[in-house]
Amino acid sequence: MKVINNFIQDKNVFLDIKNLLLSPNFPHYYNDYVADKKDVGDYYFVHILYNQDQQKSDYFNQVLMPILGRLNFNYLHRAKVNCYTKKHKHIKSAMHTDMNKNHTVALFSVNTNNGYTLFENGEKVVSVENQLVLFDGSIKHCSVAQTDENLRINININLSWQTHRKEGIKTIGYCGEKILASNTIWTHCQMVLSWVQKNLIIVLYLLTSTGPISLAFLIDSS
């Protein structure tokens, strides 16, 4: 197991993710159990970002790519946002593994609270904002609800390195401080081309008067 604090190093990028997921406008979907249908009263809310080789959410790039960009993998099995509501006591879900195949779990905490992840050996990791926990997916674990904050939010990512795969979901570009997925590179190229077309005279002047220039300032990093 590896615990990494301040995982997203750009504070503004992290705060964008945190504020989005804590916003009343972000869609969290009700699920009446966390790990086992027998868990009475142990409900939570979920937002699927990626599953079954498909992007499932419009928030995929904004929420997930700053995390994926710092992880070594070539195959993404699933990624989802978990949202737990405040309970009157620490309710423990059933011990489980996320899937029945070789994988690594990357669990990213969005906010600090007294909820935690409990492992079958008795070890626990308390929720601390901007903290990532990496562990072997074959290790049984469970979620324990918080009693202090109204919401406990984390991002659960299941990924692996598969030698027979040449390509996977991975980071291939940057835009300012933000990491871009492959399917957003073309969008940002179009943004650059559009800017150049609208400001051709300025571009020509800069190229002829000052020599080579960086294209970084042409991209809207928002």
Name residues whose C-beta falls within 8 Å of residue 120's C-beta, 6 or more positions apart in sequence.
95, 139, 140, 141
CA-to-CA dists, residue 16 to 11, 108, 162, 178, angstroms: 9, 15, 32, 11
Whole-structure pTM over 0.85, yes or no?
no
Across the range 151-157, mean pLDDT stands at 98
Going by CATH, does the domain composed of 2-165 fall within 2.60.40.10? no
Domain ranges of the chain: 2-165, 172-218
Q: Is the pLDDT of residue 67 over 70?
A: yes
| Whole-number pLDDT of residue 213 | 35
If you average pLDDT over every residue of the chain, what do you get? 82
Phi, psi of 216 (to 5 degrees): -60, -40
